[in-house]
Amino acid sequence: MNSTLPDILVIGAGIAGASVAAELACTHRVVLLEREEVPGYHSTGRSAALFSESYGNAAVRALSRASRDFFYSPPQGFSAYPLVKRRGSLHVARTDQAKELDEFLALKDVAGLVRRVDAAEAVALTPVLRAEAVAAGGAFEAGSADVDVHALHQGYLKLFRHRGGTVLTGANVTALAYGGYSWTVVSSAGTFRARIVVNAAGAWADKVASLADILPMNIQPCRRTAVLTEPPDGMDPEPWPMTIGIDESYYFKPDAGLILISPADETPVEPCDVQPEELDVAVAVDRVEQATVLTIHRIRRKWAGLRSFAPDRSPVIGYDGAAPGFFWLAGQGGYGIQTAPGAALLAAALVREETLPDALKGFDPQSVAPRRFAGAYSRPVQR
Ligand SMILES: Cc1cc2nc3c(=O)[nH]c(=O)nc-3n(C[C@H](O)[C@H](O)[C@H](O)COP(=O)(O)OP(=O)(O)OC[C@H]3O[C@@H](n4cnc5c(N)ncnc54)[C@H](O)[C@@H]3O)c2cc1C
């Protein structure tokens, strides 16, 4: 090992890159390269900040479960603030959605986390709901939580630096090449060499792979819109759970005295600094007004962010099958915050080729391995 070279270069300092870099810095010399001047500018800074163990597909739910302990008991000194604050979540169903609700409640690993509530209890939990929106009742998860995403992200960056890691911002990676048992990574902050490259570039993960002539995982960035609205005078939304249409056609939750609403849109777009579209804002208002007795007049803020999905909607975590030392940590979709601690532990163990830590007991890495797409559209990289 060359004493002047880092062992690992991590590309992207959102929550994925920051968390895995912090885990890897225990054992390796790691440099974290971020294109923007401020880490967290893209998806990480634009989320709805929910931790729910019943949200997402089976692989996502397993990684969320593996993250729970970290959220509630982070390492000492990780953050001056609690990372999570209890916020129940309530999936509600109209009469025509009763089957969808039943199927959700029947999921084996969800059943122990959520309980069925009837329409009356659903309205007691979220008093602004219209009777029609909850006619078939709902599923209530008491153990979900709001995440302090800033504290989580900054905590990982601080831990990373404390463990000797280097963060370089304004470092746009523009070229990647493998040769002589190491990667050469060209960025606007300099050229680096390392044995291992971790691709944590979020919506740009496929673009980064293409710089190295590595086939894409077909990770599709999708725009999602969020709008902060003012509650009617005299109404305090704080006690409400996050309330979600069972078909995920809308959701809303309290947010520091305001109400965050979303049409839960998922529009495929090219990776970019995505902005909200007026139509999506209008759809958010319309859907929430249809499901509730709220009349939304005052919008304080609106934004959009990218949720990036692999074709099967599971994250992509592991070494590329065709390129030595090229590791994927991408495709977290709408769950990259709540899965971050578990995914970082998994990724660090896989990078080091170690057995998985206790938090991931029973987790099958094959469910997220890049190789699961091998038959579909991979081929060995020509060098
Ligand atoms: C509206 C909305 C609501 C959401 N709600 C939730 C939620 O409630 N719970 C939840 O768990 N998740 C939620 N998510 C999803 C979550 O925000 C993402 O899954 C997560 O932030 C992805 O993190 P990341 O680090 O992979 O991506 P990012 O934060 O986008 O980080 C990737 C970084 O890579 C950098 N980069 C890219 N290319 C290069 C390059 N060539 N060189 C150097 N750097 C590069 C980018 O600048 C960027 O900073 C939501 C997302 C949105 C948009």
How far apart (Å, rounded) are the C-alpha atoms in residues 67 and 122?
A: 28
pLDDT at residue number 6:
84
Helix-then-strand count for the chain, H and E: 10, 21
Closest-CA residue, ligand 1 atom 53, reads 305
Testing ligand 1's pocket by substitution, the residue of 307, 314, 328, 338 carrying the most ligand atoms inside 8 A of its CB is: 307
Token code pair at residue 190 = 């300099």
β-bridge mates for residue 85, sequence order: 146
| Distance from the alpha carbon of residue 12 to the mean position of ligand 1, in angstroms | 9
Residues with CB under 6 A from ligand 1: 11-17, 33-36, 41-44, 46-50, 171-173, 200-204, 208, 224, 226, 305-307, 332, 334-338
Cβ atoms of 225 and 280 within 8 Å: the answer is yes
Residue by residue, pLDDT tens for the chain (383 residues) are: 344 578 999 999 999 999 999 999 999 999 999 999 999 999 999 999 999 999 999 999 999 999 999 999 999 999 999 999 999 999 999 999 999 999 999 999 999 999 999 999 999 999 999 999 999 999 999 999 999 999 999 999 999 999 999 999 999 999 999 998 999 999 999 999 999 999 999 999 999 999 999 999 999 999 999 999 999 999 999 999 999 999 999 999 999 999 999 999 999 999 999 999 999 999 999 999 999 999 999 999 999 999 999 999 999 999 999 999 999 999 999 999 999 999 999 999 999 999 999 999 999 999 999 999 975 554 444 33
Testing ligand 1's pocket by substitution, the residue of 23, 44, 217, 255 carrying the most ligand atoms inside 8 A of its CB is: 44
Closest-CA residue, ligand 1 atom 2, reads 47
- Ligand 1 atom, smallest distance to 329 CA: 26
Cβ atoms of 321 and 207 within 8 Å: the answer is no
Beta carbons within 8 Å of 15's beta carbon, 6+ residues apart = 40, 44, 149, 152, 153, 156, 336, 337, 340
Question: Strands 8-11, 145-147: parallel, antiparallel or unpaired by DSSP?
Answer: unpaired
Closest-CA residue, ligand 1 atom 33, reads 12
Beta carbons within 8 Å of 317's beta carbon, 6+ residues apart = 328, 329, 330, 343, 346, 347, 350, 365, 368, 369, 370
Closest-CA residue, ligand 1 atom 16, reads 336
pLDDT at residue number 379:
44
β-bridge mates for residue 377, sequence order: none
pLDDT at residue number 286:
98
DSSP 94: -
| Distance from the alpha carbon of residue 39 to the mean position of ligand 1, in angstroms | 10
Question: Strands 316-319, 326-330: parallel, antiparallel or unpaired by DSSP?
Answer: antiparallel
Residue 40, Ramachandran bin (φ over 0: left; ψ between -120 and 50: alpha; else beta): left
Closest-CA residue, ligand 1 atom 20, reads 336
Closest-CA residue, ligand 1 atom 52, reads 47
Closest-CA residue, ligand 1 atom 18, reads 336
Testing ligand 1's pocket by substitution, the residue of 9, 32, 42 carrying the most ligand atoms inside 8 A of its CB is: 42
* All structural domains of the chain: 8-49+149-218+312-377 (3.50.50.60), 89-142+220-309 (3.30.9.10)
